[in-house]
Chain A
Amino acid sequence: MELVLVTKTSRSVVVELTDSGKYYTKNQYDIYVNDKKYMESNKVITSIYDLKPDTDYKIMVEYDGEQKAIQVHTDYEFVTLNVREFGAYGDGVHDDTNAIQCAIMSCPPHSRVLVPAGEYKISSIFLKSDLTLELAKDAVLSAYTEREKFPILPGVIESYDEKEEYNLGSWEGNPLDTFSAIVCGINVENVVITGQGTIEGNTNFENWWKDCKIRNIAWRPRLFFINHCSNVTMHGITVQNSPSWTIHPYFSDHLKFIDVTIKNPANSHNTDGLDPESCTDVLVLGTYISVGDDCIAIKSGKIYMAERYQVPTSNMIVRQCCMRDGHGAVTVGSEIAAGVKDVHIKDCLFMNTDRGLRVKTRRGRGKLSVLDDISFEDIDMDNVMTPFVVNSFYFCDPDGKTEYVSIKKPLPVDSRTPSIKNLTFKNIKATNCHVAGTYICGLPESKIERLTFENIDFSYAEDAKSGVAAMMLGCEEGCKQGMVVSNIKELVLKNVHVVGCEGEAIVADNVDKIIK
């Protein structure tokens, strides 16, 4: 058992207790602050709140009779700006947008804006640089749902000399007019959003999720959107019922999402949990995600943005997270035209998702769409319909069902052809699978270069449900299929056990080399 400090602010610390558990520790344990019992925890990543600034603390855990302690000195803090003092009511009736925005804009360095317990009605608030925004326990930033109350982020504003452009809004990989997020940051740095409170999107099928595929004035807002931001940390808070993608970092870097809870109904539309798009240096740690679409979807835009800016998502780590009830637990795609590289998912728990590890791409993403050095390691999955899916014929786009996207015979490789290089799956246990253990489909004209499965165990649910493994034309409904793989140059299968499938354990088509 090890205890390490993950991060700290002036008012909180986050610790990690490692006992080989994934998201949850194998046993419950006690946490003491300065030798006084603070809480019990059963999570690997745990936050401790209500500390004083610029103060020494001893954080000790007692786990199965064993004790471990660390010393922490909380950060210096200058002042606290309580939004109530700026005129916020927090009564769930008054519009508190302006009062909270006033507090944010007034916040000096090394200070925090505190939102105490209460329900604060807001439309859209904007972050500024050098800010700590703390949502206290039982504080709720409760969003309006009338679209007329929301500002619009124009997709593109052309420069006066007509040579450049300024991109603000983004919708599914393109620079399109979008309503501003409930909490929004543009060109800011050094921001922490922390606390035990909630950002509540209040979305339902009568407002933002109604006719959600149709642009109405502008495209739907995110719950949290940061554009060209740096050094942003979200910690502890709960975000829920988002109008569309919940957390959308865009062309931003040095980002941390720690001990965050993301919740949207399982039947909500396009409510991905966390979608970093063209971002670098991203850490997602100890986060719980239960949503209506992909829990984490790693992106880098569609072809226009990719060709113009050429910023892939890279250097991303997801650790000790729990994901459930989405279409995919961790997805790469489908808007990945600038590529994704150096992404590693480790020590996670996936439950009840349609797919576990999901790559979705298609012809038309372009030659810059290169996926490389992506690994999934030490992951437990339970009740996942299909644990591994790589789909190179993804059809959920305005032109996704055209012949160009869906045809299975090889087309000429050109500037629109994407590629997948090296994917690794290692130390993964998937129990109660339903549709298939693995469904991998590369492009015939651009085969997946190397796919490695090592130490993998699949077993199937007794009452396995049938379903469609991948969202592509020609993928038939199935049940208890083994590993269905096609269009791969080199497939490595080391210590892979498929127990209880119906039919062949491995169905390979157009695979150049299988190494066992």
Chain B
Amino acid sequence: MISRNKELEKKLIDLLEEAAKKASNKECAMIVNAVIALYKATGEKEYADKAKEMLDKYAINAAELAKDNGISKYLWGNAFYNIGDYNNDSKYIDKAVELAACFDKQQRNKIGCFSSNSESEEIVLSDFYYTQPFYMNYDTRNGGKEHYNDIIAQYNAVSSTQYIRPYDFDRNNSEKMIDKLVSDKKLYEDFVYYAASLIDTMELMAQPLYEIYRKLQEYYKTTVKLLLLSKAQENVQDKAVYAMLSYVILKGCRMKALLTEKYENVAVELLEKIFHFINTQDQQFEAEYLEAAAFGYSEWIRNREYQDYGINKGGVLWS
């Protein structure tokens, strides 16, 4: 059973810092978010300082980001918010708001979902991970919750559209879907990041808009169930997606979106393998792998809050 391990945390942060030096802008954003996740889980201010340092170093200013038609730029949004909160510095919050303004002009595909390709009729599930958690965070904090309906409409489109080839989300035909997940590693990866987008979005919304919250939860659970039924994770032990799945499940358990008793063990087994791998393999790890491992580890630490309702950490179970 994993317990908190400061040496491991230090190693992870060193590896992430090293990976950032040659990472793409998108990967840098993920790395900063991963370090922030470690700070939020442990409360170690040193980690928050490191995240800020990396944010200042690697984040292009919001105006530059706005020129980019892609959607991975939105990964910086929640990093701005988190560092702004940590430092009580409105400058970062302003950057988040400035970046969020891009949503108004952001291209959408023909089904109405944010996309870098307006001609596409396909929904790329992993795209949701780049956009929706930040879109929700912005809308909850600064957007007057005007776009909640848009957010749930985009998720609804995934579950109902006929255009989602080959990602046919037919719950009555789950065996077909499971077969696809087993045979198509890219699809499997997209599903994992889609599930991550759902649970991250749920965390950042105002829960009293409960019908939306529950709809997201329903989509999240369906996705996780399909992933686990496929057992495809057994074939991707050295991949980032494997670590990301542990994050997705543990976070769902913490937020009571999944029954801890039924699902937690799968994620813990994944994490144990990941950290055995990191601790024993003397190799260069991909940034993506390290980020996902940090996310998973962070959720494992935070998941203990489930036991005491967060009372010993200032009072919030999640939010």
B259 CB-CB contact with A under 8 Å: yes
Is A399 a contact partner of B148 (Cβ separation < 8 A)? yes
* Contact status B311-A148, CB under 8 Å: yes
Q: Is the CB of A176 within 8 A of B209?
A: no
CA distance A403 to B149 in the complex (A): 11
Is B309 in contact with chain A by the CB < 8 A criterion? yes
Interface residue tally on B, bucketed by range:
20 to 34
B317 touches A177 (CB 8 A): yes
Q: Chain A residues near B146 (CB, 8 Å)?
A: 399, 402-403
- A398 and B259 form a contact (CB under 8 A): no
- Would you give the shortest CB distance from A215 to chain B, in whole angstroms? 7
Residues of A within 8 A of B310 (CB): 217
B1 on interface, CB distance cutoff 8 Å:
no
Give the chain A neighbours of B262 by CB distance below 8 A: 160, 162
Q: Tell me if A152 and B145 are in contact (CB < 8 A).
A: no
Is A303 close to B, CB under 8 A? yes
Query: CA–CA, A384 to B255, complex, Å?
Result: 45
Cβ of A216 to closest chain B Cβ, rounded Å: 5
Query: Is A402 a contact partner of B316 (Cβ separation < 8 A)?
Result: no
In the complex the two chains form, is B208's CB within 8 Å of A398's CB?
yes
Bound-state Cα–Cα, A53 to B214, Å:
52
A217 touches B317 (CB 8 A): yes
Q: Which residues of A contact B209 (CB under 8 A)?
A: 398-399
| Cα distance, A171 to B210, chains bound together (Å) | 11
Q: Which residues of B contact A401 (CB under 8 A)?
A: 144
Chain B contacts of A175 at CB under 8 A?
210
| Given the contacts A148-B311, A162-B259, A217-B311, A172 and B317 also touching, CB distance less than 8 Å | no
A218 to B148, CA, bound (A): 23
Contact in complex: A399, B316 (CB < 8 Å): no
Nearest A residue to B210, CB-CB:
A174
Taking a contact as CB atoms closer than 8 A, the residue among A156, A304, A404 that contacts B211 in the complex is A304
- Partner among B144, B149, B208 whose Cβ is within 8 Å of the Cβ of A172: B208
Q: What is the distance, in angstroms, from B37's C-beta to the closest C-beta of chain A?
A: 22
Query: With an 8 A cutoff between CB atoms, is A302 at the interface?
Result: yes
Interface residues in B130-165 by Cβ distance below 8 A to A read: 144-146, 148-149
Q: Which residue of A lies closest to B149 (CB)?
A: A404
Instruction: Judge whether B101 is part of the interface by a CB distance below 8 angstroms.
Output: no
In this complex, the interface size class of chain A, counting residues with CB under 8 Å from chain B, is 20 to 34
A398-417: which residues lie under 8 A (CB-CB) from chain B? 398-399, 401-404
Given A158-B259, A162-B259, residue A215 in contact with residue B211 (CB < 8 A): no
Q: How far, in whole Å, are A487 and B207 apart by their CA atoms in the complex?
A: 32
Residues of A within 8 A of B261 (CB): 160
List, in ascending order, chain A residues with CB within 8 A of B315's CB: 147, 216-217
User: Does B301 count as interface, using CB distance less than 8 angstroms?
Assistant: no
Contact flag A302-B149 (CB < 8 Å), given A148-B311, A217-B309: no
B47 to chain A minimum Cβ distance, whole angstroms, is 25
Looking at B149, B208, B262, which has the most chain A CB atoms within 10 Å of its CB?
Answer: B208
CB distance from B5 to the nearest CB of A (A): 28
Cα-based distance from A148 to B311 in the complex (angstroms): 8
CA of A172 to CA of B149, assembled, Å: 20
Q: What are the interface flags for A338-378 relative to B under an 8 Å C-beta threshold, 1 for contact and 0 otherwise? A: 00000000000000000000000000000000000000000
Interface string of A160-177 (1 = CB under 8 A from B): 101000000001101111
Q: How far is the CA of A176 from the CA of B210 in the complex (A)?
A: 9
Q: Which residues of chain A have C-beta atoms less than 8 A from B149's C-beta?
A: 402, 404
Question: Are A215 and B319 within 8 A (Cβ)?
Answer: yes
Contacts of A303 in B (CB 8 A): 211
Whether the Cβ atoms of B208 and A176 lie closer than 8 Å is: yes
Q: Are A302 and B211 within 8 A (Cβ)?
A: yes
In the complex, whether B187 has a CB less than 8 A from a CB of chain A is no
| Docked CA distance A65–B180 (Å) | 91
Complex interface: chain A residues within 8 A of B145 (CB): 398-399, 402
- Min CB distance, B212 to chain A, in Å? 9
A175–B256 CA distance with the chains assembled, in angstroms: 13
Q: How far is the CB of B137 from chain A (nearest CB, A)?
A: 14
Q: Is the CB of B208 within 8 A of A174?
A: yes
Within 8 A of B (CB), among A257-304: 302-304
Bound-state CA distance A237–B214 (Å) is 39
CB distance from B152 to the nearest CB of A (A): 11
CA distance A306 to B207 in the complex (A): 17
CB distance from B113 to the nearest CB of A (A): 20
Is the CB of B15 closer than 8 A to any CB of chain A? no
Within 8 A of A (CB), among B44-66: none
User: A218 to B207, alpha carbons, bound, how many Å?
Assistant: 12
Alpha-carbon gap, A302 to B148, bound state (A): 16
Taking the closest CB of chain A, its distance from the CB of B148, in whole angstroms, is: 6
Given contacts A148-B311, A152-B309, A403-B146, contact A217 B211 (CB under 8 A): no
- B229 at interface, CB cutoff 8 A: no
The answer to the question of B206 belonging to the interface, with a C-beta cut-off of 8 Å to chain A, is yes
The B-contacting residues of A in range 200-217, CB under 8 angstroms, are 215-217
Beta-carbon nearest neighbor of B315 in chain A: A217
A398-B206, A399-B209 are known contacts. Are A216 and B316 too (CB-CB below 8 A)? yes
Whether A176 contacts B259 in the complex (CB less than 8 A), given A217-B311, A401-B144, comes out as: no
Q: How far is the CA of A402 from the CA of B209 in the complex (A)?
A: 13
Residue on A nearest B205 in the bound complex, by CB: A398
Q: A171-B208, A174-B210, A304-B210 are in contact. Are A402 and B259 (CB under 8 A)?
A: no
How far does the alpha carbon of A162 sit from the alpha carbon of B224 in the complex, in Å?
13
Residues of A within 8 Å of B316, CB to CB, are 215-217
Instruction: Kindly state the separation between the CA atoms of A256 and B262 in the bound complex, as whole angstroms.
Output: 43
Q: Give the residue name and chain of the B residue nearest to A301 (CB).
A: B210
Closest CB of chain B to A395's CB: distance in Å?
A: 11
For the complex, what is the distance from the CA of A215 to the CA of B309, rounded to whole Å?
A: 13
A415 to B316, CA, bound (A): 34
Nearest residue, chain A, Cβ from B148: A399
Distance in angstroms between the alpha carbons of A162 and B257 in the assembled complex: 11
Residues of A within 8 A of B221 (CB): 162
B231, chain A: closest CB distance, angstroms:
19
CA distance A160 to B261 in the complex (A): 9
B-contact 0/1 string along A169-187, CB 8 Å cutoff:
0011011110000000000
With A217-B310, A398-B208 known, 7 other A-B pairs at CB within 8 A are: A156-B256, A162-B259, A304-B210, A307-B211, A401-B144, A403-B146, A404-B149
Closest 10 CB pairs of A and B: A174-B210, A399-B145, A398-B206, A304-B211, A217-B315, A304-B210, A303-B211, A402-B146, A398-B208, A216-B315
A sample of 15 inter-chain contacts (CB < 8 A) reads A152-B309, A158-B256, A162-B259, A174-B210, A177-B317, A215-B207, A216-B315, A218-B317, A302-B210, A302-B211, A303-B211, A304-B210, A304-B214, A397-B208, A402-B145
